[in-house]
Amino acid sequence: MKWIIVIVFVSVVVSSNAQREPSIPLSPLSFRQITRGLSPPPMGRSPVTSDIIIRHYSRNSTSPNSRRIGNIKQLLKEPSFDVNRPTVVYAHGYVEKVTDESVATVVSAYLRVGGYNLLVVDWSNIAFGNYIVVAKRLPATGEAVGIALSKLLKRGLSLKGLHLVGHSMGAHLVSYAARYLMARGYTVPRMTGLDPAYPGFYPPIVAPHMSPSDATFVDVIHTDGGYFGTPASTGHADFWPNGGTAKQPGCVSATIPLTNEDFCSHFRSWLLWSESVTGDALLARRCEDYDTFLRGDCQDEPLVFLGIRATPDLRGNYYLRTAAKPPYGLGLRGVS
């Protein structure tokens, strides 16, 4: 954890013209990340892969249908689960719960548009506690998810419509699941990383990081590069809104390290993803770097979409500007 604190401290002094006035905000949630990093698993949960829960969300229910990962085949008996429909598998990040805003926001976006089997990997039983310990256990956790998904694929789930999405550590988790599936003959069509976790993964000191070889198309949204999120291109198409680093527009310039406010830029990735599910104003252009983009030297590059509408032919680094509050998409103003 000492390495992480050093990295985060830099965020207190970095500034940009788009961020809010310097202040040290606090709320009842401010120290949640710190507390959970020192806490055992949520009550009633055990830190073993067999206690991972797959939660199926649908418009037909006010709460998800939940299954222990070993019983995932029971999903096939649910009337609202259609093996021919596209399936999204979402994995939350370190010390997060499915009741947190991050998961609730993503779930809400998908339920609004409909047409998906939406599965959330609830691995909060393993995600709590020491960061290094959790990271070391992540490959086995991802493999357990891969085993579960292979059971569904063997029983008719459409591989063509499978999309793995993960935030922070969850991005690496779904990459391990994809690698397990690939070793068994199932190549995942698309995998998305939302600000993949940086410390311990780049370079892969604690555990391997996600890579373009994990799926047919791998896209990544970077919003806190060099702090909690990786500063490295790690997909076929890497998107760098506002340069992809802290502080993102709307995030306060001065924060107490490791507080909820300090994660503002890191959390922006799932907010942008959720907005992309329901809207189409997050446009980007390929460019050499953000400074070149800001100078307008990439105006001849075609417009592309950040988020769910990104197409599998995209390759390279893409840039855009966003607003400081929802809706974040600026349309053409964000790329001109």
Q: Where are the domains of the chain?
A: 2-335
Q: Are 163 and 88 within 8 A, CB to CB? A: yes
Q: Which of 266, 269, 274, 276 is catalytic?
A: 266
Q: Which of 92, 150, 167, 195 is catalytic?
A: 195
Is residue 128's pLDDT more than 70? Answer: yes
Is residue 3's pLDDT more than 90? Answer: no
Q: Are 276 and 111 within 8 A, CB to CB? A: no
Q: Are 144 and 69 within 8 A, CB to CB? A: yes
Task: State yes or no: is 11 an active-site residue.
Answer: no
Q: Which of 11, 168, 211, 265 is catalytic?
A: 168
Residue 29 pLDDT: 86
Task: State yes or no: is 27 an active-site residue.
Answer: no
Residue 168 pLDDT: 98
pLDDT per residue as tens digits for the range 175-211: 999 999 999 999 999 999 999 999 999 999 999 999 9
* DSSP letter for each residue of 63-103: S-EEEEGGGGGGGGG-TT--TTS-EEEEE--TT--TTSHHH
Q: Are 318 and 303 within 8 A, CB to CB? A: no
The backbone torsions φ and ψ at residue 264, rounded to the nearest 5 degrees and listed phi first, read -55, -50
Confidence of residue 253 (pLDDT cuts 50, 70, 90): confident
Q: Assign domain 2-335 to its CATH superfamily.
A: Alpha/Beta hydrolase fold, catalytic domain (3.40.50.1820)
pLDDT per residue as tens digits for the range 4-59: 333 333 333 333 445 445 456 778 789 999 999 999 999 999 999 999 999 999 98
Look up residue 131 and give its DSSP letter: H
Give the chain's mean pLDDT.
93
Q: Say what percent of the chain tops pLDDT 70.
A: 93
Over range 68-91, report the average pLDDT.
96
Residue 180 pLDDT: 98
Over range 260-265, report the average pLDDT.
95
Over range 71-83, report the average pLDDT.
95
Query: pTM of the entire structure?
Result: 0.92
Is residue 232's pLDDT more than 90? Answer: yes
Over range 92-120, report the average pLDDT.
97
Task: State yes or no: is 262 an active-site residue.
Answer: no
